[in-house]
Amino acid sequence: MPLTSEQLAFDQQHIWHPYSSMINPPPMVPVESASGVRIRLSDGRELIDGMASWWSVIHGYNHPSLNAAAHAQIDRVAHVMFGGLTHEPAIELSRKLVQMTPAGLDRVFLADSGSVAVEVAMKMAIQYWHARGKPGKHKLVALQNGYHGDTFGAMSVCDPVTGMHELFSGVLAQQVHIPRPATRFGQPLIDGDCDALEQTLREHGDEIAALIVEPIVQGAGGMYFYSPEWLKQARILCDRYEVLLIADEIATGFGRSGKLFACEHAGISPDILCLGKALTGGYMTLSATLTTAHIGETISAGGAGCFMHGPTFMGNPLACAVANASLTLLQEQDWQAEVSRIETRLTASLSPAASLSGVADVRVLGAIGVIELHEAVSLASVQPLFVEQGIWVRPFGKLVYVMPPYVMSNADLDTLCSGIIQVLNALEG
Ligand SMILES: *Cc1c(COP(=O)(O)O)cnc(C)c1O
């Protein structure tokens, strides 16, 4: 049944969508269902989905084994509190995460969303130093152009310009922001590229709890791919100046960058790891923050005697059961071959964009393709053009990018990319 005009009007008048206006809301595209890589609209049209619903739907929509896991679990128990109670879905999920993540991360905190996973990571780092008798170490170092979520703690470590710091100044915690690595992925490390980090840690180490980074791929803050060598050095510097390293792999986790976790490009383990987005294959919200036994035990030996966090829906069985099915699927498939196939295909089919005069850069890493423009595009004018091409792409600012489900065929990848290029071409007139 297509949505009625009354329903759509209600949506416009009463419902906030992400970063949307209540005065002049843009038209919304009504969805009927979705399957594989296709989103079916209520008027019957189908769109090839280039966004994987913001990095999360890695196996495609309406997947039989994820559906089966959800059905089986909902008939047992959809939710039960995690305080004092436990269950198989949470245990088996945590076991998988401990086993598949970089070495040493074997204490698991399950939370509700990516932003909360970041809050949890920040609190872990601060509580750790508190427990070690260094309560002055409570600031974070973060990279410019970073994105870590929309809650207050997470916002404080987002890029100070695009991350709404001005709007919330006086409310946000004051953190230390340093330039992002200048060395791009695949380039030899530029001389002095780690100097800002080293100087900050050397001079302010006694007030810094942790460095937080999106390893290798900065997502929503700029779709920027940087050098694994920089990350390797950052790990060394954090150890040297006694600062924890938090890796926010909420976007990059589970194969997106070509490695299961982006930290693997640098061969490092962080002290704290944040996961989310693709964790449930995009079925529902769930996140995890992992840390080491040492940090877990130090926090627990501190004054509080425990880690001070415990959300209502912690360890939600339904979400954990679907996450288990998603990770099983990932491990049973040759996901690396699929991601590398997509990387090859995106590289070839996006390359013609480089010759457009409005295009500043085209780059691909793993199953992420980015076209960076000279000028920001108007979402309101460009969104309908993509829909007309039968593709779902949602640019922000100067960035038109795709991160398709890993199951997207080469033919669909070609349609997606040529659709984008046609739209950009049309914009140039
Ligand atoms: C999306 C994202 C977050 C926030 O996750 P939510 O589930 O939207 O709260 C945090 N960090 C990174 C790197 C992300 O991409």
- Detail the residues annotated as belonging to a binding site: 54, 114-115, 147, 248, 277, 310-312, 394
- Check residue 351 and give its pLDDT: 97
Q: How far lies 15's CA from each of 20, 28, 248, 370, in Å? A: 9, 11, 30, 30
Q: How far apart are CA 278 and CA 287, in angstroms?
A: 9
Q: Is 96 a catalytic residue?
A: no
Q: How far apart are CA 82 and CA 110, in angstroms?
A: 10
Q: Which residue has the tokens 């510097």?
A: 237
Binding residues for pyridoxal 5'-phosphate: 114-115, 248, 311-312
Burial of 164 (0-12, 13-18, 19+ CB in 10 A): middle
C-alpha distance from residue 264 to each of 101, 268, 341, 358, 424 (Å): 9, 6, 19, 35, 35
Question: Which residue minimizes the CA distance to atom 8 of ligand 1?
Answer: 114
Best of 148, 246, 263, 313 for a ligand 1 pocket test (most atoms within 8 Å of beta carbon): 148
> What is the whole-number distance in angstroms between the Cα of residue 114 and the centre of ligand 1?
4
What is the predicted pLDDT for the residue at 185? 98
Per the annotation, the verdict on 134 as an active-site residue is no
Residue whose Cα lies nearest atom 15 of ligand 1: it is 251
How many other C-beta atoms are found inside a 10 Å radius of the C-beta of residue 236?
13
**Residue numbering of the annotated binding site for substrate:** 54, 147, 277, 310, 394
pTM of structure? 0.98
The CA dihedral of 224, 226, 231, 237, to the nearest 10 degrees, is: -90
Expressed in angstroms and rounded, the spacing between residue 55 Cα and the centre of ligand 1 is 10
278 touches 254 (CB < 8 A): yes
Nearest atom, ligand 1, residue 251 CA: 15
DSSP letter for 284, please.
S
What residues of the chain score a pLDDT lower than 50? none
Check residue 157 and give its pLDDT.
97
Report the pLDDT value the prediction gives residue 162, as an integer from 0 to 100: 80
Cα 97 to Cα 283: distance, rounded to the nearest angstrom: 18
Nearest atom within ligand 1 for CA of residue 149? 4
Whether 248 sits among the annotated catalytic residues: the reply is yes
What's the pLDDT at 26?
87
